[in-house]
Structure 1
Amino acid sequence: MQKAFVDLHIHIGRTKTGKAVKITGSKTLTLQNIVDFASSIKGLHMIGVIDCHVPEVISELEETIQNGVATEHQDGGIVFANSLVLLLGSEIEVYDEHSSGPIHVLVYLPTLKKMKQFSEWLAPRMKNRTLSSQRIYESGIVLQEKVKALQGLFIPAHVFTPFKSVYGKGVKQKMSEVFRLDLIDAVELGLSSDTSMAEEINELSYFPFLTNSDAHSLEKIAREYQVMAMNDYSFKDLHNVLQEKEGCHIIANYGLNPKLGKYYKTSCAKCYKQKSADVCQCGHRQFIKGVSERIQELKGEGNRKQRPPYIHQIPLEFIPKLGPKTLQALRDHFKTDMDIIHHVSKQQLQTVVKDDIATLIDQARLGKLLVEEGGAGRYGKVKREEA
C-alpha cells in the first residue's frame, strides 16, 4: 500500500498545435506542461485531465505512447516517464428536462480505446467536442448509462457552486431528480464547501467526497487534492478507493478553507460586499447566493458516513508576503509543493526564507490564519494569525 497525492480535475488550455480547448484556461496549460508541472513542481502522483475527449488531445496522447514517452497501464491510466499517472477524463455539461439549470459532471474512462469510443459517441450529441465542458444534447441518465457501459466513473462536479452545478440553482432540486444515484461514484465538493458542510445533504450521505483543483492555470494545480491509499497508481485502484476495496481508501481531503472560495457568502454581483439588505450599499440589487446559505436551504437530518478528515489547506500562493521569487526559492531548495506543505519543518523553512514567511506557512498548516470570506466570484483573502 502506498500514498498518492491526487488531483482529478485539471483542464487543458491549448493543444500541442495551439488550438484552444478550455477557452478560459491559460495558454501554458498544454498536456506536456501539465504532466511536468504536476509531477516536478506540485509533487502529485496521479492527475485527472478532463478534456481527453477532444480528438487532438487523444492524438497527442497516442503520439506520446508511440514515441515511448508514456505507456498505458494494464489497469487503466497513462504512465509517463516521470512516473506520473494521467487518468483520462472529460467534463460535460448536462441540461435536460429534469435539471433546473446546466450541470457539470466529470467522466473518467480506463483506456484510450474507450475514450475514443466515448468521443465518437459524443460527436453527434455535442456541437463542438473540440472544446472543454460542452453541453451534451442527451439526458443525464443516458450519459450515465453510456459511461457505465464503458466501465467508467461518473462524478458530479463542484456540486454547490452557484453556476453549472446540481445544487447551485435557487430551487430545491435533488440530485436524484436528474441522475441515477446508483450510477454515481463520488461527488466533487468545489472550492467553497468542505465535508462538514456537504454532509448536511441527506442524499450525499454515502458518496465519497473528492477535493480537486479545477485548475485553469499551472499554478492552480493541486490547490485542492486528496491523499489516497492505493496498491498501485491506476484507474482500477482509483475505483477501489471510491469503493473502499482491497485496502484502498481516501486518507484525507485537502481543500481550501471554504471561506476562501469565490462563492462562500451571498454577495453583491457588482461590488462583492456581503448581503445585508435587499439593496446593496452601492445601489445594486443583484446578489449571488453563497454556498453557505444554499446548504442551509437544502440540509436535512440523516445518517452520516464515517469520512476521512477534511484538512483546510491554504495554497502557497495565497499566503501573504510569499511572492513568486520566494516561492521559487522554496521550490529550488525543497523540490515540490507537497514537500513544502507536508514534510518540511518550520526550522527548515527558516533556512531559506525570512522568519515571518516561515511562520505564516507554518500557521497555514496549523489552521491559525484568519480568512476574509469570499463571494460573488471573488476569492476570500488570508489575513493574519488568530489571536
Structure 2
Amino acid sequence: MKVNADLHLHSKYSMACSGKMELPTIASEASRKGMELIGTGDCTHPKWLEEIKKAAISDEEIRIGNIFFIPTTEVEDIDRVHHLLILPSISKAEELAERIAPFGNLEADGRPSVKLDGCEIAEIAKDLGALIGPCHAFTPWTALYGYHDSLESCYGDMTEYVSFVELGLSADSNYADRIEELHRLTFLTNSDAHSPSTNKLAREFTQFNVPDITFEGIKKAILRKQGYGATLNVGFFPEEGKYNRSACVKCFTQYPLPEAEARRWRCPICRGIIKKGVADRVNELADFEKPEHPDHRPPYLHLIPLAEIIQMSLGHASVQTKGVKTAWETIVGHFGNEVEALIYAEPEALKIVDDRIVNAILAFRKGDVIIHPGGGGQYGWLELPGHLKAEKPGPAEKGAEEKKKASKITKREIGKSRTQISFSDLARKSSVETVETEEEKTAGVGTEWPEKERPEKPAGQRSLFDF
C-alpha cells in the first residue's frame, strides 16, 4: 500500500513553535493535506510524551481518526548537528528519554540538545531498535554537512547503521546524489513544521510503499526490504532556501564561489560577510559533476503548498487572506485533500475555482515557473510567468520586485528527468497499491551491524560554511 508521510515536525513544547501544534489539530490538518502517517516529533519531552500516551491505542499504535502517528524526535548533538530518530514504540521513546536525560535538559525544549556526539546517539538508537539519520543535512546551521565532510566524520563506527538522510528544504535528490556516500541511503523529505498551517505542515513529504502503517512497515520501506521502499519525494525547489547561493548577509548580493574566495568572503559593496551557499557546498563535497541516481532512488517532485500557489496566482499579500482561504477550502473540500488536487486531479475538474488558480496549478505541473534563488539569509522566491501574473499585484509581489535587485533570475523546468518528473507520469496511489504476500507478512526485518570501538572526536566544531 502507498502512504504519504511527514516524519519530522515539532510540538507546542519546542521553541518558536505554535501553541496549536497539538495532536488532534495536527491529525485534522494532516488529513486535509493528504497524509496518512505523521511523526509525533519531540517524543522525549515529558509533557508531550504524556499527550502521546493519551492518543495511543497500544504501546505500538498511535492513531487519531484516519491519521497514524509514529514516535519521532530531533536531537541536537554536542557539535550542533541535528539527528532524526524514528522509534518502534512509546516504551522505546521513554527509554530514549532515560538514556539521554543525563546529558541534557529534556524539559527545556521539545528538541533536546545533549552532550553526546553523533556516534553515541546512533549507538543508543541501535540499542533501542530505532532508525536514525541526519536532519536537513545540507543547511549551513545544525546540519551534518555544516560541520562534517562525511557521514563517517559524524557517526564514526556507527556510520553503517545510519539508514536515511533527510534532505531538508535546502536540497533535493539532484543535489544529494552527486555525493557517492549517500547513494546507499533512503532520502526523506519532511516538513520540519513548527505550525499546523496549510503552508507549513507536510510542505515536504515522502510517499512510501509499505506492507502496513506500523514502525515495522516503515522500517522495511526505509531499509528497502522485501520490495518495499520510498516511491516519491515531494519538496521545494532548493533555490527557495535562504542560503542556496553564496551571498552577503547584509546586502544579499550573490557571488560565484571563485569571486567570493578571491574577495576573502567580504562583500566589496557593504563589507558584510559572504556566506557560502548550499549549492557551492555541494560542489565541494560532490564526487560527480552531475547527479548519478542509484536504481532504488524514487522521483523527486518539486512542489509548493497549494495555499502559496493560490496566493501567487491572485496576487494576495499572504496565505491568510480571505480569498486564499476560501479558494483553498473549496478545492480541498471538493477533492478531499490537497495532494489529490495538486497532483492527481484532471485539469477540467479543477475549474471549480478562479481560472487564475487553475492556470497556476497547471503551470507548476509543467514547470513553467521562474525561480529567484535565495542567499545570505534571504529566502528565494518563485514567480509565475508574465502571462499568468495577477493583474494587480499585491504587497507580496511588490516586495518581490524590490528583491530582484539583489539576486539573479534562473528558470528551471520540472520536466521528465530522472528525479524531476511530469505530474502526468504519477499514477494515483489507489491504483498502484501492492498486495502483501504471506511471506512478506512473516519475514524478518532489520539489519545487524558490527560492534566497533568509537574514535574520539573534538566537540564544538565551527560550521564549514563559515570563514
Scaled by the length of structure 2, what TM-score is found? 0.73
TM-fit CA distance, 1:255: 1.1
TM-fit CA distance, 1:335: 2.6
TM-fit CA distance, 1:282: 5.2
Unaligned regions of 5+ residues in structure 2, if any?
A: 315-323, 386-410, 414-467
Which secondary structure state, in structure 1, belongs to the residue aligned with residue 222 of structure 2? helix
Contact 2:250-2:270 within 8 A present in 1 as well? no
Distance 1:147 1:183 in 2: 9
Q: Which one-letter code corresponds to 1:7 in the other structure? A: D
Q: Work out which of the residue numbers 266, 271, 282 in structure 1 matches 2:246.
A: 266
Q: Measured at CA, do residues 77 and 374 of structure 1 come closer, stay the same or move farther in structure 2, by a change above 3 Å?
A: farther
TM-fit CA distance, 1:284: 4.0
For residues 301-343 of structure 1, the C-alpha deviation after alignment (integer angstroms, 9 at most, x for no partner) is 4985221111111222332135333222322332311121122
The answer to which of 127-136 and 189-198 deviates more is 127-136
Q: Which one-letter code corresponds to 2:68 in the other structure? A: V
Contact 1:267-1:288 within 8 A present in 2 as well? yes
Q: Which one-letter code corresponds to 1:240 in the other structure? A: K
In the alignment, structure 1 residue 229 sits paired with structure 2 residue 209: yes
Distance 2:361 2:293 in 1: 33
More strand by percentage: 1
Q: Which one-letter code corresponds to 2:104 in the other structure? A: M
In the alignment, structure 1 residue 126 sits paired with structure 2 residue 109: no
Q: Work out which of the residue numbers 268, 292, 298 in structure 1 matches 2:279.
A: 292
In the alignment, structure 1 residue 46 sits paired with structure 2 residue 33: no
Report the counterpart of residue 66 of structure 2 in structure 1.
Answer: 83
Distance 2:373 2:154 in 1: 31
Report the counterpart of residue 174 of structure 1 in structure 2.
Answer: 150
Report the counterpart of residue 18 of structure 1 in structure 2.
Answer: none
In the alignment, structure 1 residue 10 sits paired with structure 2 residue 9: yes
Report the counterpart of residue 367 of structure 1 in structure 2.
Answer: 367
The answer to which of 320-329 and 143-152 deviates more is 320-329
Question: What does 1:1-387 correspond to in 2, within 5 Å?
Answer: 2-12=1-11, 14=12, 21-39=13-31, 41-65=32-56, 71-72=57-58, 76-80=60-64, 82-95=65-78, 101-169=79-147, 173-179=149-155, 180-219=158-197, 220-275=200-255, 278=263, 279-280=266-267, 283-301=270-288, 305-306=294-295, 307-319=297-309, 320-321=312-313, 323-351=324-352, 353-385=353-385
Contact 1:318-1:381 within 8 A present in 2 as well? no
Contact 2:118-2:154 within 8 A present in 1 as well? yes
Which secondary structure state, in structure 1, belongs to the residue aligned with residue 384 of structure 2? strand
Contact 2:18-2:194 within 8 A present in 1 as well? yes
Tell me the percent identity. Answer: 31
Contact 1:110-1:152 within 8 A present in 2 as well? yes
Distance 1:8 1:155 in 2: 12
Which secondary structure state, in structure 2, belongs to the residue aligned with residue 167 of structure 1? helix
What is the number of residues matched between the two proteins?
Answer: 362
Distance 1:162 1:142 in 2: 23
TM-fit CA distance, 1:83: 2.3
Which secondary structure state, in structure 1, belongs to the residue aligned with residue 71 of structure 2? strand
Q: Which one-letter code corresponds to 1:308 in the other structure? A: P
The answer to which of 130-139 and 107-116 deviates more is 130-139
Which secondary structure state, in structure 2, belongs to the residue aligned with residue 295 of structure 1? helix
Which secondary structure state, in structure 2, belongs to the residue aligned with residue 154 of structure 1? strand
Q: Measured at CA, do residues 303 and 375 of structure 1 come closer, stay the same or move farther in structure 2, by a change above 3 Å?
A: closer
Q: Could you say which structure has the larger radius of gyration?
A: 2
Runs of 4+ in structure 1 deviating by more than 3 angstroms, as ranges, are 276-282, 301-304
TM-fit CA distance, 1:131: 0.9
Distance 2:46 2:14 in 1: 14
Q: Which one-letter code corresponds to 2:191 in the other structure? A: S
TM-fit CA distance, 1:77: 4.3
Which secondary structure state, in structure 1, belongs to the residue aligned with residue 133 of structure 2? strand
Report the counterpart of residue 17 of structure 1 in structure 2.
Answer: none
TM-fit CA distance, 1:375: 2.2
Contact 2:82-2:134 within 8 A present in 1 as well? yes
Distance 1:138 1:104 in 2: 11
Contact 1:230-1:247 within 8 A present in 2 as well? no
Contact 2:97-2:106 within 8 A present in 1 as well? no
Distance 1:218 1:113 in 2: 26
For residues 333-362 of structure 1, the C-alpha deviation after alignment (integer angstroms, 9 at most, x for no partner) is 3231112112222212112x2112101011
TM-fit CA distance, 1:239: 0.5
More helix by percentage: 2
Q: Which one-letter code corresponds to 1:371 in the other structure? A: I
Which secondary structure state, in structure 1, belongs to the residue aligned with residue 144 of structure 2? coil
For residues 51-98 of structure 1, the C-alpha deviation after alignment (integer angstroms, 9 at most, x for no partner) is 011111111122233xxxxx137xx44122x12111101111112xxx
Q: Measured at CA, do residues 34 and 294 of structure 1 come closer, stay the same or move farther in structure 2, by a change above 3 Å?
A: same
Report the counterpart of residue 442 of structure 2 in structure 1.
Answer: none
Distance 1:348 1:380 in 2: 31
Contact 1:46-1:87 within 8 A present in 2 as well? yes
Distance 1:47 1:232 in 2: 14
Contact 1:314-1:365 within 8 A present in 2 as well? no
